[in-house]
Amino acid sequence: MTSKPSCESARLEALHRYEILGTLPDPAFDDLARLASYICHTPIAAISFVDAERQWFKSAVGLNHREAPREGAFCAHTILGTDVFIVEKADEDERFSGHPWVVEPPALRFYAGIPLISPDGYAIGTLAVMDAAPRTLSPEQQAFLRTITNQVMAQLELRKTPQLDNRRERDRRKEFVTEQKEAEEIIRESELKLRSIFDQAPVGIATINSLTGRFKSVNPSYSTIIGYTVEEMLDRTFLDITHPDDLQSDLDQMTRLLEGEIARFEMDKRLLKKNGDVLWVHLTCVPLWRQLSDPRMHLAIVQDMSERKRAEEKAKIFHEELARLVESRTKDLQQTHRLLQSVIDSSPDWIFVKDREHRFVLVNKAFAASQKLIPTDMAGRLDSDFWPHELCEGNEAKGIRGFHTDDRRAFAGELIHNPYDPASLHDGTLRIFDTYKGPWRDPNGQIAGVLCYARDVTEQRRAEEIIQRMNSELTIRVDERTAELARANRLLEIDIANRKLAEEALQSSQENLRQALQASNTGELA
């Protein structure tokens, strides 16, 4: 709930003395609101008075409301202070983030208000400027707002018609005269300040007859910008110094302003300086015919845009050059990418890159063909979209390390060789791959994924298994044959030994027989 001033009753009494609530629109207040809008460069400005339960708008630029609830209102906070109250980002301010004017049109983000303080010290209302974009006010703009606030109070003092009863009227008359003199002094000081603003403003300001286009008053900055003296400007019209190519659009806007279709207009246009140079300016036109006796006068404010235009031209050239450079670089990158793709597509082995989420970033034709796809079909998809969980995460019982086990090591910067890395094809056929994995780094050198090279060694593995099986069988046969030869050798050795014994026995028998024969022969001779 919004707090109220400690002197609320006295404040309301001071407000009601002005009898301003519910009155008709007043050009004097409207022009002051427009001036505040211009000085602060905001689309919305308002002069409002805060009653017990409502905020009533005496004048508003860019708002269609005549009044609004006091509770939660920006201005209800403003009257609690004595100086400028600023909210730069209303949607981030817990006091106002839920306000209807913030969450709904006009979707306010910026608010700056200053209390209207009566001569007896009561904040009876506010002068406020608002915008749908976050921003703030410069010290100069805040100072100008204070000056305009003084002018608003001066207008109130001039229009104040207090209803005094007969018993107090005589006593109040002298006080009223004094207050009126003070109000006139305030107005005089305000007019001096406004004239000072006019003369010292860093932008060009002029009042112009809207029907003839002739300058009625010109400040020094306008004279400096255009190169003519103030006296020379008063002998000219704005048509004389407008570039021919911009004249019709300027006149069209002025026609709309005169016919009441628009309340003001802004445009970028070119002026012709006294020396013949062309000067870009930003023009703002505000009608004055609701306040001045001359019914067709308007205020023109011009701001030199030369530096901005030069900067825009430089920026345009820079962006065009940058666009050409980007286009050239893009073509080079595309050519490099095509060359790289051509190189990896020429390999029958699997080559691919995955990011840290195991999504495929780049694959070659051989790898994509294993899944009956083309490379672009696999880009951005997870490896788990193609292979079962145990191949991705591993199965210790089956001796499968898993893709992700090696991926995580690559993410840590390791180079991994897995000579037995099973993976299935699109038809479910299981193949064995000899895989090398390493970290894939982004342009900043950070590890962004894993680069993999995998060669199908299924047939090689099968051949090795056959050779191993044949070697095992041959070893068994050799061992069996060796055993047979050993047995045969032992039998042969036995046979040889037996033959030797037989030969020795035969020789012994022959020797015995020879000796017997000799003995027999010797006996016969005897």
CATH number among 3.30.70.890, 3.30.450.20, 3.40.50.2000, 2.50.20.10, domain 204-304: 3.30.450.20
pLDDT at 236: 93
Q: What's the rounded Cα separation, in Å, for the pair 323 and 259?
A: 45
Q: How far apart are CA 434 and CA 51, in angstroms?
A: 85
Out of 182-186, 195-199, 490-494, give the one with best mean pLDDT. Answer: 490-494
Distances (CA, A) of 364 to 1, 39, 370, 404: 67, 64, 10, 20
Furthest CA-CA distance within the chain: 213
Tell me the percentage of the chain whose pLDDT exceeds 90. 42
Residue 361 or residue 295, greater confidence: 361
Rounded-to-integer distance, Cα 455 and Cα 405, Å: 19
**Top-confidence residue, 175 or 67:** 67
The arithmetic mean of pLDDT across residues 15-29, rounded, is 91
Helix, strand, coil percent content, the chain, rounded in steps of 5: 50, 25, 30
Say what the pTM is. 0.35
Q: Which residue has the higher pLDDT, 103 or 512?
A: 103
Q: Which phi and psi (to 5°) does residue 165 adopt? A: -75, 165
Contacts of 87-90 spanning 24+ positions with Cβ under 8 A: 87/111, 87/112, 88/134, 88/135, 88/136, 89/134
Gap between the Cα atoms of 236 and 218, Å rounded: 11
Domain spanning 347-456 has what CATH number?
A: 3.30.450.20
Placement of tokens 């000796």 in the chain:
515
DSSP state of 43: S
Same fold flag, 8-190 and 204-304: yes
Q: Is the dihedral of CA 32, 33, 34, 40 positive or negative?
A: positive
- Predicted confidence at residue 321, as pLDDT, reads 79
Q: What are phi and psi of 180, to 5 degrees?
A: -65, -40
Confidence check: pLDDT of 338 > 80: no
Residue where the block lists tokens 């018609």: 161
pLDDT tens figures, 371-407: 899 988 998 999 999 989 988 998 988 888 889 999 9
What would the mean pLDDT of 347-363 be, rounded to a whole number?
91
For residue 107, the tally of other CB atoms under 10 A from its CB is: 13
Q: How many CB atoms lie within 10 A of CB 135?
A: 15
Alpha-carbon dihedral sign for residues 5, 9, 11, 12: positive
Q: Which residue has the higher pLDDT, 177 or 375?
A: 375
Give per-residue pLDDT as tens, 82-131: 999 999 999 999 999 999 999 999 999 999 999 999 999 999 999 999 99
Q: What is the residue extent of each domain of the chain?
A: 8-190, 204-304, 347-456, 468-511
Decide: helix, strand or coil at residue 2: coil
CA separation for the pair 6, 4 (Å, rounded): 6
CATH topology of domain 8-190: Beta-Lactamase (3.30.450)
Q: Which residue has the higher pLDDT, 340 or 41?
A: 41
Q: Per-residue confidence at 336, pLDDT binned at 50, 70, 90?
A: low
Percent of the chain scored above 70 by pLDDT? 88
Phi, psi of 305 (to 5 degrees): -110, 15
Looking at the predicted structure, is the pLDDT value of residue 171 above 70? no
Q: Which two tokens stand for residue 510?
A: 């022959």
